[in-house]
Amino acid sequence: MASWSFDGDLVDRSGRGNDAFAKPPSFTAGHRGQGLRCGQGSIVVPDSPPLRVAPGLGLECWVKLHALGTSWQPVLIKDGEYQLRIDPPHEGGQFSFFLHRDGWEPRVRSGITAQVGVWYHLHAGWDGREIWIDVDGRRTSRPRSGEPVVGAEPLELGQFEGILDEVRIENPGARFSGAAQWRFDGDLRDASEHGHHLTGDGAAFVPVPGGQAFNSASAKVQTRSQPELQLAPGLRIDCAVYFEQVPTEIRTIAIKDGEYQLRLNSLQDGGGFGFFVNLDGWEPRVSSRERVVPGRWYRLTARWDGMALTLDVNGQRTRVTRSGIPKAASHPFVINSFGGWLDNPLLSTSSARLWRRQVGRRE
């Protein structure tokens, strides 16, 4: 599902686009080739369905510590879902794995106490019945069943002093639960099987790691309005965007007119990305802080939870308060000819039908 070798970059070698982001990343001699130097700042992988907890989740990595902290030190953590960590000294200083379900405990703890300067090979996971951890081939497990908590937080890497290498996540039970997913592997089909196929004359695709992306310069594409595509609390848009040349004027990337839109702001307006929902007007929006530059992929997650707008761009989050009652419109969902490439957009509005039924009953 995801794999990072850290040989001079933070690219997901699986080709699924789960690249990590850090400012700036630092590399050093790893267990094999180069590894990621940790403890110098935040290292994040934006949330995506393959990273969310599900039965069959498995984590693997190599770790070497440069120092033993006085508190707990996460190796890998997706807050509110799972974490692989080094326990604090007063708890024994072992490696532990946690699955969040009505709280973090009970954990499963290895019998090996972490030492400075030693490479450790870590495996951990959850099969739906037990959580387990394996350190250098020595495995321990304990019962942990029930419904896990699935969230939208990023995966954070390497919150310890040392080196992280050869990280791999397997998650065969992960499922996409949103309204639509367009992979653009040579066609405009909705891979979610919900039938929201896009249409548009002349649509063309470009090769990218892991498959193809939609070249928006070739066509404007759209799908007709459906209740599950309409604005409601829980709206979320995920996608990756790339520009060979960055326009200086406003470019709308995706829009359901009268309800929500994701766009590139004008250079005069900062040149970042902007996300809007229409609640008796489009403003205030939420915008990313950094100017978009050519030749770089941007991972975007835009959300509205009914109380606030958030926009995550390559792991950097901005937020504005935004509440109100949305009004459904019959306009199609459109991906515009914005001048860049678009890869693997996912649209989630899973609460739309339920929310509208609840509002209808109150009225």
pTM of the model: 0.84
Is 304 found in the same domain as 209? yes
pLDDT at site 193: 82
Span 130-163, pLDDT tens digits: 999 999 999 999 999 988 888 889 999 999 999 9
Domain with residue 219: its CATH number is: 2.60.120.200
> Can you tell me whether residue 269 is helix, strand or coil?
helix
Residue 234 DSSP one-character state: T
pLDDT at site 175: 77
**Residue 136 in contact with residue 31, Cβ under 8 Å?**
no
Is 192 found in the same domain as 84? no
pLDDT at site 176: 72
Tokens of 360: 């209808």
**b/e burial code for range 294-328 (CB count within 10 A of at least 16 → b):** eeebbbbbbbbebeebbbbbbbebbeeebeeebeb
**Residue 261 in domain:** yes
10 Å CB burial of residue 129 (0-12, 13-18, 19+) is: exposed
> What does the alpha-carbon distance between residue 201 and residue 221 come to, in Å, rounded to a whole number?
8
Q: How far is CA 287 from CA 214, 246, 273, 290, 332, in A?
A: 24, 17, 6, 9, 24
* Amino acid present at 305: D
Is 133 found in the same domain as 202? no
Task: Report residue 47: phi and psi, to 5°.
Answer: -55, 140
Is 137 found in the same domain as 85? yes
Q: Measured at the alpha carbon of residue 83, what is the angle toward residues 80 and 85, in degrees to the nearest 5?
A: 140
Q: Which of 170, 200, 222 is the last residue of a domain?
A: 170
β-sheet bridge partners, residue 288? none
Is 312 found in the same domain as 240? yes
Q: Which of 148, 170, 192 is the last residue of a domain?
A: 170
Count of structural domains, the chain? 2
Domain span at 217: 180-362
β-sheet bridge partners, residue 130? 143
330: left (phi over 0), alpha (psi -120 to 50) or beta: alpha
Q: How far is CA 99 from CA 36, 105, 107, 138, 153, in A?
A: 25, 8, 7, 20, 15
Task: Report residue 278: phi and psi, to 5°.
Answer: -95, 110
**Where do the H-state alpha helices sit in the chain?**
352-362
* Amino acid present at 85: R
> What does the alpha-carbon distance between residue 211 and residue 17 come to, in Å, rounded to a whole number?
10
Is 165 found in the same domain as 185? no
Is 295 found in the same domain as 160? no
Is 57 found in the same domain as 25? yes
Is 58 found in the same domain as 164? yes
With a CB cutoff of 8 Å and minimum separation 6, the contacts of 280 are: 324
**Residue 256 in domain:** yes
Is 221 found in the same domain as 123? no
Torsion of CA 61, 67, 71, 72, to 10 degrees: 10
Is 258 found in the same domain as 218? yes
pLDDT at site 351: 52
> What does the alpha-carbon distance between residue 274 and residue 173 come to, in Å, rounded to a whole number?
33
Query: Which residues, given as ranges, of the chain have pLDDT below 70?
Result: 350-363
Which residue shows structure tokens 């990273």?
A: 51
Q: Which of 170, 191, 214 is the last residue of a domain?
A: 170
**Residue 175 in domain:** no
Is 160 found in the same domain as 207? no
Q: How far is CA 288 from CA 212, 231, 262, 300, 321, in A?
A: 26, 21, 11, 10, 15
> What DSSP letter does each residue of 113-166 carry, written as one string?
E--BT-EEEEEEEE-SSEEEEEETTEEEEEE--SPPP---PPEEE--SSEEEEE
